[in-house]
Amino acid sequence: MDFTLNDNGCKMNINGCYHNSARKLSVYDWMCDLPDTVKDTDFVEVQFNNTRKGFYLNSTHIALKKGDMVAVESTPGHDIGEVTLVGKLVLNQMQKSNINFEKFEIKRVYRKAKQTDIDKYNESKALEQDTMIRSRQIAERVGLNMRIGDVEYQGDGNKAIFYYIAEERVDFRQLIKVLADTFHVRIEMKQIGARQEAGRIGGIGPCGRELCCASWMSNFVSVSTSAARYQDISLNPQKLAGQCAKLKCCINFEASTYIDAQKDFPSKEIQLETLDATWYHFKTDVFKREMTYSSAPNMAANLVTISVDRAKEVIALNKNGEKPERLELKGDGGKEAAPIDFNNVVGQDSLTRFDKDKKRNKNRNNRRDDRRNKREAKGNENRNNGQERTEKKDNGHRNNRPRNDRRNNNQNKGNKPQKPNNEKNNN
């Protein structure tokens, strides 16, 4: 079947779809070059803000494509959003969002947005920043233990959604009355978590890239310290916490891979018995498939690193009541554990690199201060010497006689070597 891909639709290039490719919640319509898939459903996906999407029914069969601005049904009035997905993939997105079609409230697409709709939409969006600042002041004045993180106006300007974060239950009935009287719009309060707030604010993570919650993550899964234990990550709260003060979401990204890789590893609770000592697990290198054991249970003493296969072999001997002579293989000669450092396995810099820089800068500043003090002391000494010379010049007339005496003495000293010469001549 021959067809022409509409340049105004989903245009594919090396960067993916050119619409919303750099925005959060963007999708890649990999079926956009199959025109028959557009007729599979009348539902379309509409995005309103950087963190809000919805599914609407195109009951009037308007010719819609990705990137079109549409007016959709809302409560109350209508909202203005951008079509981000059409066709068969919309059904897949609805299934991924766990939408129950029996209980799903179907809202319709009214029309393509007119210029008047776009102008009203832009006017409403321009009020969001000022509204957020004033609403924070009002909440503080009312005395509520909450923080308003963001404000979003509906496309027609008749409703405003206030996103807030609170540690406990908040009675904001009085706040809603004050906000409605102040801004003359319908008020809707939505509670969000710390991760959602960080995603709405944005920022740069320790990896040097934009925060995952601000760029592509929309569903947040709980993160526990057990995921860090599986990866042998240091349980330092300052290292594990993100900008939201919660555990970093990226801790979960590779946790399943580490769990799968350690399925055939022996338990860390098993002690290895040899003729000379009892060995306790100290650490595990998942990538090298090596385990390090210590002769002391709670400290690093006589560390010995062996392979996972060797650890299984020793465990099997212990179960049979046998104890090997040494933990390591005889031909191996034993492998001492490398000095413990804080460089991670992916080759990043040391976790204490900033502390080292601080120490280096402190030492550099101390040396600089020492040099400055020496220069100042030398300058003071030179000034003092200059003052002494000036005083000597001013008082030169008082010291003429001693100076002449010294000159005569020097002359006499100079005549002394001539006496032996005269004696030699007389002889």
- Model-wide pTM > 0.75: no
Would the pLDDT of 412 be above 50? Answer: no
Query: What pLDDT score does 201 carry?
Result: 82
Q: Among the CATH numbers 3.30.300.20, 1.10.150.20, 3.10.290.10, 3.60.21.10, which is that of 123-192? A: 3.30.300.20
Cα distance between residue 131 and residue 145, in whole Å: 19
Strand partners, 108: 57
Would the pLDDT of 197 be above 50? Answer: yes
Question: CB–CB of 367/361 below 8 Å?
Answer: no
3-state SS, residue 150: strand
Task: Summarize the confidence of residues 108-135 as an average pLDDT.
Answer: 92
Query: What pLDDT score does 24 carry?
Result: 63
Strand partners, 247: 241
Query: What pLDDT score does 103 carry?
Result: 78
Angle, alpha carbons 321-325-329 (nearest 5°): 110
Residue 403 CA to chain centroid, in angstroms? 79
Location of structure tokens 């008047």: 116
Would the pLDDT of 81 be above 70? Answer: yes
Query: What pLDDT score does 41 carry?
Result: 82
pLDDT in tens, 28-77: 777 766 666 666 788 899 988 767 888 999 988 888 888 889 999 988 88
Strands 290-294 and 159-165: unpaired
Would the pLDDT of 236 be above 70? Answer: yes
Kindly report, as residue ranges, where domains of CATH 3.30.300.20 are found in the chain.
123-192
pLDDT in tens, 294-329: 988 888 888 999 999 999 999 999 999 999 988 887
Min mean pLDDT across 207-221, 247-261, 320-334 is at 320-334
Question: CB–CB of 201/213 below 8 Å?
Answer: no
Confidence of residue 374 (pLDDT cuts 50, 70, 90): confident
CA-wise closest residue to 184 among 225, 221, 131, 144: 131
